[in-house]
Structure 1
Amino acid sequence: MPRCAREKSLDSVYHVMVRSIAEINLFTDHADKDVYMRLLKRYKDIYLFKVYGFCLMETHGHIIIDVQGADISRIMHGVNQSYAWYYNHRHKRHGHLFQDRFKSKIVSDDRYLITLSAYIHNNTQDIEGYENQVEKYEYSSLGIYLGSMENKYGLVDKEFILSQISYNTAIAKKQYLELVYRDNPDIIPDDAEFKNEKAQYRSERKVIVRSFRPDEVVSFVENYIKQYNTNISIKYTKKNIEAKALSVLLLRGICDMKQKDICAFMGNITQSHSAKLCARGIDLLQRKKEYMNIAKDFIRRKAG
């Protein structure tokens, strides 16, 4: 039976659901969940999407993704394919890990987005030990929303949803927790006190228009890192490796180019080489502070 076409839009927010095949758990322990979170962050650095919430259970996971002009299929194909490779290698198994394709549904309005995120955060009621304290579950973003847990993956943008409830941070957190516990308000923790933060929540969505030309990206990278006339199409040289790596990263993420198109533009390099350059680009962003905001700076400069 043919698959139904996935409903997609480049300016939408998605409720993404991933599930393992019947006989195994998708996540066997904390290490597996950590890897999946790091992969989400890795692809977030590539495609510049936003994550508004997540919850990972043993057999499945929920993620709220604002694609910001990127393609949800490319994002999730990359994340899930990388995780399946890791999982099979670690657990010495072969074959499919995920149950069919990932499922996704476009979130139609802000009210539904708030209700959906509360539902996702309430999922951990099914985990033994967290029935009445879902905010303490480490692999859900609820603790990040409430300020009781560190955003250690640098993954979650909590402000957008909370700002839909109230610009006052203490009020937004309190009312949000009440929404999570709406079916059983009597178990809201007695010590749930929320202090005002210095800045109020004022968050708006701004979709990235990914219509930039490849030559614009390369020129910007050369000027940004002050490495001129790099001729990135020269294959076998290490002199321009940083310019090539950062260029491939931005071509894939900001220009939304396919690997084969990047390979042709870069001088007929292999897809494997392109993937390695992209990985090196991400590593540069993480290791060198001067490169951390290169993608945002490019978008800001083009918008200005």
Structure 2
Amino acid sequence: MGRRPRIEYEGAIYHVIQRGNNQEYIFADDSDKAYLLKQIDECRRGLGFRLFGYVVMGNHYHLLLKTERKPLSKIMHRINGNFARHFNLKYQRSGHVFQGRYKAILIQDERYLLAVLRYIHRNPVAAGVSDTTTDYAYSSDNYYRRQQGWPVDIDMVLDCLADDRLKALEKYQELMAQEDDTDYEDQDVIGEESFSMTVRPRSEVAERKPLDAILMDTGASPDDYQQIKAGSRRRHLTPYKRRYIEFALEQKYTLKEIGENIGLTANAVFDLWKRQ
């Protein structure tokens, strides 16, 4: 069976997991953990993505991020390539450093993001290498608590917990103390079933009606049809767009495919659809 296609679109949130080749401890030396985090930070500033959390363990690492200008594939190629060159040179070796391609789990929104962040930060505790999340130096937990370590974007997460920053930090600490036995690695999409259906790759769905034909089925006039296709945001076109999205989802098109046909991002399509 071939590899599943990546689900990638601008603004997507991912839980990324990358393991060492053959489960080797490629981060056994703390200086190697620090070097990886330096590469992640430089890549974040150079390629423009939002980083919400990370942890670097002995034989693997986790990232929680949101893509912006560049696709996830380019981001991970840069990070892993830079680290692999450093690792092979430092230890005078050659060959693969990482185990195949990384795993990227698509996350619906901030409700699920919080649970995954807790899972990432509690990785050292679950593995028995740390008594608490704060005891482990190579995760973003301490940056949330006291802005120590490599920087991450904490605002979105803390704003989800409370408007007042001190109250948000209290709730964050409570969240990190909670245990959760959910396996956030053994899945491809984290979210509601309806969201999972909208992001299925094209190869997994049967023959579908063309998107332009679906748009015409909404009852839009020829002039309205042309305006929608041109990306117009006029208010009277909204009902037709919502009908088009609903019909297209029934045909198993992805958010990205639906949006590209009428000049919207995948996030904008989802926001318009869920407000119905």
Aligned counterpart, 1:265: none
Aligned counterpart, 1:181: 177
Amino acid at match of 1:169: R
Question: Per the alignment, do residues 112 and 23 of structure 1 end up closer, same or farther by CA in structure 2, a change over 3 Å counting?
Answer: closer
Aligned counterpart, 2:273: none
1:163 aligns with 2:193: no
Cα separation, 1, equivalents of 2:109 and 2:76: 22
1:143 aligns with 2:147: no
Deviation at 1:128, TM superposition (A): 4.6
Cα separation, 1, equivalents of 2:129 and 2:77: 33
TM-score (norm 2): 0.62
Cα separation, 2, equivalents of 1:3 and 1:129: 33
Aligned counterpart, 1:44: 44
Deviation at 1:122, TM superposition (A): 0.8
1:122 aligns with 2:122: yes
In structure 2, list runs of 5 or more residues that go unmatched: 181-276
Deviation at 1:125, TM superposition (A): 0.3
Cα separation, 2, equivalents of 1:119 and 1:169: 22
C-alpha RMSD of matched pairs (Å): 1.6
Deviation at 1:177, TM superposition (A): 1.5
TM-score (norm 1): 0.56
Amino acid at match of 1:69: R
Q: Deviations over 1:158-192 (max 9, x none)?
A: 111011000111211111121111139xxxxxxxx
Indicate conservation of the 8 Å contact 2:33/2:56, yes or no.
yes
In structure 1, list runs of 5 or more residues that go unmatched: 185-304
Indicate conservation of the 8 Å contact 1:11/1:67, yes or no.
yes
Aligned counterpart, 2:234: none
Cα separation, 1, equivalents of 2:174 and 2:135: 15
Indicate conservation of the 8 Å contact 2:134/2:141, yes or no.
yes
Deviation at 1:136, TM superposition (A): 2.5
Cα separation, 2, equivalents of 1:12 and 1:170: 29
Indicate conservation of the 8 Å contact 1:118/1:176, yes or no.
no
How high is the sequence identity, in percent, across the aligned residues?
Answer: 28
Deviation at 1:129, TM superposition (A): 5.5
Cα separation, 2, equivalents of 1:171 and 1:24: 41
The within-5 A match list for 1:1-304 is 1-22=1-22, 24-128=24-128, 130-131=130-131, 133-147=132-146, 149-151=147-149, 153=150, 155-183=151-179
How many residue pairs align between the two structures? 180
Amino acid at match of 2:173: L
Deviation at 1:22, TM superposition (A): 2.0
Deviation at 1:23, TM superposition (A): 5.0
Question: Per the alignment, do residues 128 and 119 of structure 1 end up closer, same or farther by CA in structure 2, a change over 3 Å counting?
Answer: closer
Cα separation, 1, equivalents of 2:78 and 2:72: 10
Cα separation, 1, equivalents of 2:120 and 2:50: 17
